[in-house]
Structure 1
Amino acid sequence: MSDAHVRLDGVTDTAMDDAAEPGGLTVGAAALHVDVTVRTLHHWDRVGLVRPSGRTASGYRLYSAADIARIHRVLIYRELGLSLDDIGELLDAPTSDMTVPLRQQRAQLLDRISRLQAMVDAVDRMIEAVRAGILLSPEEQVAIFGQRWQPSLIVGARERWGDTAQWAQYAERAAGRTPEDWQQIADNITVFEHDLAAAKRAGVRPGSAEANALAERHRASMDAYFDCTLSMQVCLGRKYAADPGFTAYYDAIEPGLTIWLRDIIDANARDRGIDPDSATWT
C-alpha cells in the first residue's frame, strides 16, 4: 500500500480522494489501494460480494468511496476466517443481526486458540524433556523409582547420548508421560530386577533359554525409552559393567549381577547372530 494516511475505517485518504473524483476508482486503482489483485475484485463482483457502483462509458468498473469501505470490511472478515458466503450475509444483514455470525466466529477463534495453546504446551514439554531427560523432579524420581535411584544417571545419559536419535526418541516419549506412567514403568522394572536377581542366585547360565528370555525382557524394557537393537543392547551391557554408577546400582540388587547381566545379553545376541565383540551402537 502507498504511504497515504490510513483512516480508522481502513480506507486511505488517497483512496477516498480518488474515489471522490467523478466516477470513482478504476478496478486497477482500487486493487492497488486495498492491496488485492484485480482478479480478486473481478471475482467478488461476479459473486455479488462487492459490486462497483459505477461504470465508465466504455463499461469498465468504477469503485466509489462506499465500495472501497465495503472491500475493507470484506478483508477484515476474511482475516477472521469467514467464508465469502458468510461475509456476504454479514455485510447485507440488518444491523441487529450482525452480532450472530461474529459471535459464532469468536467461539471458533477461541477454540482454535485453545488448540494452538495445547500445541505450544506440547512443544514446551518436548523442549524440557530434551533438556532434562525426564519431566520429574529429583525428589519425584526417587519417590517413583526407589531410594537406590540416582537422578544423576539421567544427567549422565543426556551428556553421553544427548545428540543421538535415541535421545530424541526418549525425549519424545518422556514428554507425553505422566507420573502415573512412570510409576507403571518403575513397577515393571522392579519385577524384572527381582526376576534377574532370582535367576542369578539360582545359577541360570548365560545362553540358556531362561537367560535369553531375561535378556529379551531387558531389551523390551529399553524399548520404553527408545527402539533398542541387539547391538545397542550389547553396548549398554558393556556400559553397565564399565560404569561405577551402573555397577553399584545392579550389584546392590544382587552381588555380581552387573557382569551376569552383561553376559546374558552377550550370549543372547550371539545366539541371534550378533557378535558381541564387534557390536556397535546401531
Structure 2
Amino acid sequence: MGYTVGQVSALAGVTVRTLHHYDTAGLLRPRQRSSAGYRRYDDADLARLQQILFYRELGFSLDDIADLLADQQADVLEHLRARQRKLAEEIARLQRLAEAAQRAAEIQATGISLTPLERFEVFGEIAFDLSYATDAQLRWQDSQGYQEAMARAAAHTKEDWAQLMAESTAWREELLSAFDDGEPADGKRTMDIAEGHRLHLSRWFMPCPPRMHQRIADDFVTDPRAFALVVPPSQQRPGLAGYLGEAVRANACRRTTAGTPTTPSTAYEGE
C-alpha cells in the first residue's frame, strides 16, 4: 500500500506542500498511486527523500540536488567538500558581522559617544567586553556612583578620551616597569602608582575613595574582563593583576593611616 503524503509529511517533518513541490519539480515522484490516484511512497522513495533533506540542510539548491541524484557518477565527496568550504566562508562572514554588532552594542553599553573610527583611534587595544559591561550595569545600576560614572563617560568628548587614554597609557607603563623591576607591591613606588590610578578614576569618572578602589582592584584580580580594561592582554604578565590588587590594598591602608577617609559616599561597591 505504501505511505500517504500525510504519513510521509509526519515521518520526515516536512509539509505536504513541500512534498507536492518536490513531485512537481521531478525531484521526488512517488513510485505508486492509489486506485483513486493519490500518491503512495515506498521505502525507496523515503530513502531518496532522506538524501534530499540531507542536501537541503547543507544548503544545496534543488537543482544541484537533482543533478547529484540523477548522476550516478557524480563525485558526491567533492560536492560535499565544496559545500563545506562555502559554509566555512559564510560562518566567517557571519562571525565578522556578529563581532561588528557586539562592538556597536559595547559602544551603547558604555555610553561612549564616539564613532567606531574615533573609538579605534582613541582606545587602540583596550576593548570593552559587552558581557562585563552588562554585569556591571546589573550590579550597580541603582547606585549613584555608577550613574555618575556613566553620565560623565557619556559626556566626554573625543579630546577628553584622548587625554584620558594618554594618562592611562603612561600609568600602565609605570605599572609594568615597577612589576618588571621587581618592586614590592607594598613599596612606595608601587603604592604611588596605585594612588595615581585612584586619582585618575576620581578625575574622570566618579569620586573613588580608597575602599571603593579596593573593590575595583578586586575585580581586576577575579575577572580578566575587568583587568583587560586597564592592561590589554598583549601586555599582561602572570601575576600582574594580583600585584596591582596588593598595591591598591597597601595604598588604601597607607592612606587610612594618614587620615584619608575610606568610606565611599555612594553604594557603587556592589554591596
Superposition TM-score, scaled by structure 2 size: 0.49
Greater relative contact order, per chain length (Cα 8 Å cut-off, separation 6+): 2
